[in-house]
Chain A
Amino acid sequence: MKKAILISCALFLGACSQNAAKSKHADMPIEDGKVYEKVLANGMKILVKVDRRSPVVVNQVWYKVGSSYEHNGITGLSHMLEHMMFKETKNLKIGEFSEIVAENGGRDNAFTGKDYTAYFQTIAADRLPLMMKLEADRMRNVRISEAEFKKELEVVKEERRWRTEDKPGSLTYERFQAAAFMNSPYHHPVVGWMEDLDAMSMDDAMDWYRRWYAPNKATQVVVDDVNPFDVFALAEKTFGKHKAVDLDPPKPQPETRQRGERRIKVHGRAELPSLLLGWKVPTLVTAQGDAEVEKEVYALEVLAGILDGGNSARFPRELVRDQQVAQGAGAGYSLADRLQTLFTLSGTPAKGKTVEQLEMALMEQLQRIKDSPVSDAEMNRVKSQVLAADVYEKDSMFYQGMVLGMLETVGLNWGKADEYVPMIQAVTAADIQTVANKYFTERGLTVGELVPDVAQQGGQ
């Protein structure tokens, strides 16, 4: 079986280079750093970013499915399915996928998020055709047996124990998210509730697979020193064989408006307390079509940098070093989430300080942002760091691919990536004050606190 694939791939290569030679695009100059796009007849999008630096190819296939597509009772299903995608297909035996990648000197894995499931290989550039053949195969041909499903479900439960159950901080964050989002699917964790995992069946996984794994719900991203038109030709021969599937889009499920502060406590087997504050804010996706809100998104991004972007930012400078109220403190915001998301502040009180003192200090920080404009020096520092990071990112082909794949998969165009730097540069101190006053309201606040429970270790 393995041989069959290798042989047909060799044929592929021949066909492909022939095609390239005759292609009408053969004389077109290929620009380094540029992204080339093609949509196949079946609706699958292919993105190729040309990177002249490396003989290595990064190949990623992104699917529009993740935990935010799930409903109560089946949480964790997208992630569980991701695990099953490495098992058996019509053409491959169990485990053969990764075995072939390894024998070809590659590394492969996958990740599931709220809004996407993505599969990737990093491998010598001449193995791209083989990777595309394998990915096209598992897009439609996966088989799931009862025995393999049951075994893998135990692996996933171990993963949840390791990621969440035994980490009091993760456990608190999960419950904090659940408290902040009532009806939005951002309510539940990517790995799923243990209670839902307990009840998950092979049929659930198969249904989910048939429903979301289709060419019209997928994007392939290639970062490589390659002629994009060769990749497009290959894509026609591999992914292009699959028919588009008629799929209902997920229900919109916008979060219902919060009508007052919410507070939760999580008692955990912890040595130190910690604190999370969150407010609901828009993202580039929810802002689509509204230029004003889109500006706000970038202002929120700069605000996160003012608070927590580097060692000169306000949190490390004032909360950790000057006031010594925090052991550590941070600000978090994912501007490319598919649904309305949280802007979070978090921290652990310094020795001798209480959670209440830390909360007060964090709120004071926000009040200052609301009341007085951020200094030019601070604005410039954040912007300098963004400009430099834009250069540094070129050192990671994988990251470059991730940006494109994620933007496409959450429903933005990959071209949004090019807007990032200019939009950040355009943010003013007044913009930051405006968004702070608009979104960080008393009634919109959710607070999560981890309470160390040393006496009754383990709790539940």
Chain B
Amino acid sequence: MRSLMKIAVTLSILFSVFVASAENIQNWTTDNGAQVYFIETHSIAMADIRMVFNAGSARDKISGVAALTNGLLDTGAADLDANGIAEALENVGAQMSNASLRDMAVLSLRSLSDESRLMPALSVFTKVLSEPTYPKADFTREKKRLLLGLKSQKQQPAAVGKRAYFKAIYGEHPYAEMPSGTEASVERIQRIHLRRFHKNYYVAKNAVIAIVGDLSKERAMQIAEQLSSAIPAGTAAPVVSAVTALTEAKRLDIQMQTQQSHIMIGQPGLRRGEADYFDLYVGNHILGGSGFASQLMQSIREDRGLAYSVYSYFSPMQELGPFTAGMQTKNDQRQQAIELLMDNIKGFIANGPTQAQLDKALKNITGSAPLRTDSNSKLVEYLAMMGFYKLPLDYLDQFNDKVRAVTVESIRNAWQQRIDPDKLVTVVVGNGE
């Protein structure tokens, strides 16, 4: 335990808020074109590295390729097999994880910053990133496991609902598919598809490297170069095709012998980085984005006891990400619940929030600013997100000011422009008999 001199509380407040501000975010480009975002913070002897590629399932020609390319990175790399990779990392207490979303492919590493731990961890991480071998036996096994995983999703009403919902709001757009693909599409995937996908998209000009932790700027620069120079410069992925607007309201009922019905309502919403983001964000905070403080929770759970969980959210993406509201309720009251949820959404679009609702939301959002960046893991995620969507370095500094600039009118206008209440898609999974 370190013994520290007494520091005034006010000083530490300044310091911590500082950490996430533009002045503290260092941003540069590696020799072959990867974007790097770095925050130096020595309070814990560890380092977080999060690499994101514009290589999510939006790039899939056969649904599931992006996810398998990413998911099988740790099954073989250069001279190492799956056991070798896992042992080398776990010997030094490092944690590697990956994820494949619609926009992003993520590969991240958490390690102690002590060089005797960090160096071996980085060496494996670099191989995994740049020289995956996709061994035949591992490919065959993981494909089987994915197929079985897809089968097991059929017993989960939430998963069934989500799949149908994305299909219904995105139609032919690549966002329509789940990153994990379908049983039919995964059956068609061959190893060569993974190799090609990796070669095309896991390249420096398509990458953002976020680093947070107990490292000097020099060391962070070395690390970024080590990672980036291990992969070709390549080219940035092309823009994702535009989403086609929905032409009519739709309701989809999926029969399942469950006790509850799962309900999702929504449509394509907005891109990351657009001017009306804060109007939509604050509006959604009021409608269904702030837990117990939200209108949906009040109306559906607190006033009527109809659900345990009810929510709404925007997921801004490269192209129009969805606006979604959802809840679960026992089958025999689902019609009442759907009508109530719909009335709340339509009412909110027509009228916007009240001034009182807005005042409360502003206090909550601006007051909770320190909570957004109170750990290294949150910081590194923010940096990667800001880099990926090319948000300005002062994004977090500006956050509260932009939130404060929102008015009842600007919220109502933005919602009316973005969400057409007459073209909402409703998906219901449950027992309607």
Q: In this assembly, does A264 line the interface, its C-beta being within 8 Å of a C-beta of chain B? A: no
B12-A52 in contact (CB<8A): yes
Cβ of B85 to closest chain A Cβ, rounded Å: 8
A102-B292 in contact (CB<8A): yes
A272 with B148, Cβ < 8 A, contacts A155-B305, A310-B86, A388-B93 known:
yes
Q: In this assembly, does A357 line the interface, its C-beta being within 8 Å of a C-beta of chain B? A: no
Q: In this assembly, does A8 line the interface, its C-beta being within 8 Å of a C-beta of chain B? A: no
Q: In this assembly, does A22 line the interface, its C-beta being within 8 Å of a C-beta of chain B? A: no
B431-A458 in contact (CB<8A): yes
**What 0/1 pattern do residues 29 to 69 of A give for CB contact below 8 A with B?**
11111100000000000000000111110000000000000
A397 (CB) vs chain B CBs: closest residue = B374
- Determine the distance from Cα of A175 to Cα of B151 in the docked complex, in whole angstroms: 24
Q: In this assembly, does B222 line the interface, its C-beta being within 8 Å of a C-beta of chain A? A: no
> What chain B residues lie within 8 Å of A233 (beta carbons)?
none
Q: In this assembly, does A321 line the interface, its C-beta being within 8 Å of a C-beta of chain B? A: yes
Complex partner residue of B6 from A30, A99, A106, A395, CB under 8 angstroms? A30
**What 0/1 pattern do residues 335 to 351 of B give for CB contact below 8 A with A?**
00000000000000000
Complex partner residue of A162 from B138, B149, B328, CB under 8 angstroms? B328
Q: In this assembly, does B238 line the interface, its C-beta being within 8 Å of a C-beta of chain A? A: no
B13-A311 in contact (CB<8A): no
A104-B367 in contact (CB<8A): yes
Q: In this assembly, does A24 line the interface, its C-beta being within 8 Å of a C-beta of chain B? A: no
B92 (CB) vs chain A CBs: closest residue = A384
B214 (CB) vs chain A CBs: closest residue = A391
> What chain B residues lie within 8 Å of A327 (beta carbons)?
145, 148-149
> What chain B residues lie within 8 Å of A395 (beta carbons)?
44, 46, 375-377
A270 (CB) vs chain B CBs: closest residue = B155
**What 0/1 pattern do residues 116 to 137 of A give for CB contact below 8 A with B?**
0000001111100000000000
A392 with B364, Cβ < 8 A, contacts A29-B3, A33-B1, A98-B293 known:
no
A388 (CB) vs chain B CBs: closest residue = B93
Q: In this assembly, does A312 line the interface, its C-beta being within 8 Å of a C-beta of chain B? A: yes
Q: In this assembly, does B394 line the interface, its C-beta being within 8 Å of a C-beta of chain A? A: no
B328-A158 in contact (CB<8A): yes
A55-B155 in contact (CB<8A): no
> What chain A residues lie within 8 Å of B6 (beta carbons)?
29-30
- Determine the distance from Cα of A93 to Cα of B296 in the docked complex, in whole angstroms: 19
**What 0/1 pattern do residues 128 to 161 of A give for CB contact below 8 A with B?**
0000000000000000000000111111111101
> What chain B residues lie within 8 Å of A312 (beta carbons)?
83, 86-87, 89-90
A102-B3 in contact (CB<8A): no
A155-B301 in contact (CB<8A): yes
Cβ of A3 to closest chain B Cβ, rounded Å: 14
A34 with B1, Cβ < 8 A, contacts A381-B90, A384-B92, A388-B117 known:
yes
A122-B9 in contact (CB<8A): no
> What chain A residues lie within 8 Å of B381 (beta carbons)?
none
B152-A272 in contact (CB<8A): yes
B157-A380 in contact (CB<8A): no
Most buried by B among A32, A54, A104: A54
> What chain A residues lie within 8 Å of B290 (beta carbons)?
102
> What chain A residues lie within 8 Å of B249 (beta carbons)?
none
B93-A387 in contact (CB<8A): yes
A274 (CB) vs chain B CBs: closest residue = B152
A380 with B16, Cβ < 8 A, contacts A159-B308, A165-B259, A311-B86 known:
no
Complex partner residue of B91 from A270, A380, A457, CB under 8 angstroms? A380
Cβ of B405 to closest chain A Cβ, rounded Å: 18
A351-B148 in contact (CB<8A): yes
**How many contacting A-B pairs (Cβ < 8 A)?**
223
Q: In this assembly, does A103 line the interface, its C-beta being within 8 Å of a C-beta of chain B? A: yes
> What chain B residues lie within 8 Å of A166 (beta carbons)?
157, 258-260
Cβ of A359 to closest chain B Cβ, rounded Å: 18
Which of B141-178 touch A at CB < 8 Å? Answer: 141, 144-145, 147-149, 151-152, 154-157
The range of chain A's interface size is 35 or more
Q: In this assembly, does A217 line the interface, its C-beta being within 8 Å of a C-beta of chain B? A: no
Cβ of A268 to closest chain B Cβ, rounded Å: 8
B87 (CB) vs chain A CBs: closest residue = A312
Q: In this assembly, does A14 line the interface, its C-beta being within 8 Å of a C-beta of chain B? A: no
- Determine the distance from Cα of A38 to Cα of B376 in the docked complex, in whole angstroms: 31
> What chain A residues lie within 8 Å of B145 (beta carbons)?
320, 327, 350-351
A324 with B141, Cβ < 8 A, contacts A98-B293, A168-B155, A384-B91 known:
yes
B87-A381 in contact (CB<8A): yes
B364-A103 in contact (CB<8A): yes
B360-A29 in contact (CB<8A): no
Most buried by A among B83, B155, B157: B155
- Determine the distance from Cα of A156 to Cα of B301 in the docked complex, in whole angstroms: 10
Cβ of A245 to closest chain B Cβ, rounded Å: 29
- Determine the distance from Cα of A166 to Cα of B156 in the docked complex, in whole angstroms: 8
> What chain B residues lie within 8 Å of A155 (beta carbons)?
301, 305, 307-308
Complex partner residue of B309 from A152, A162, A165, A324, CB under 8 angstroms? A162
**What 0/1 pattern do residues 76 to 112 of A give for CB contact below 8 A with B?**
0000000000100000001100110011111101000
Cβ of A402 to closest chain B Cβ, rounded Å: 14
A272 with B307, Cβ < 8 A, contacts A104-B363, A105-B369 known:
no
Cβ of B378 to closest chain A Cβ, rounded Å: 9
> What chain A residues lie within 8 Å of B1 (beta carbons)?
31-34
Most buried by B among A109, A122, A162, A321: A162
> What chain A residues lie within 8 Å of B205 (beta carbons)?
none
B331 (CB) vs chain A CBs: closest residue = A161
A95 with B292, Cβ < 8 A, contacts A105-B363, A105-B366, A394-B44 known:
yes
Apart from the given pairs A102-B364, A122-B374, A272-B155, 20 other A-B contacts in the complex at a CB distance below 8 Å: A31-B1, A32-B2, A52-B12, A55-B370, A55-B374, A98-B291, A103-B364, A105-B366, A106-B367, A158-B330, A165-B258, A165-B259, A168-B155, A269-B257, A271-B152, A310-B86, A312-B89, A321-B83, A351-B148, A397-B374
Q: Would you give 8 A-B contacts (Cβ < 8 Å), ordered by A?
A: A54-B375, A56-B374, A102-B290, A103-B360, A166-B258, A272-B151, A395-B46, A397-B374
User: Could you tell me which B residues sit within 8 Å of A by CB distance?
Assistant: 1-7, 9, 12-13, 16-17, 43-46, 74, 82-83, 85-87, 89-95, 110-112, 117, 138, 141, 144-145, 147-149, 151-152, 154-157, 257-260, 290-293, 298, 301-302, 304-309, 328-330, 360, 363-371, 374-377, 431
- Nearest first, the 8 A-B pairs at minimum CB distance are A105-B367, A388-B93, A458-B257, A312-B86, A154-B305, A151-B305, A311-B86, A159-B308
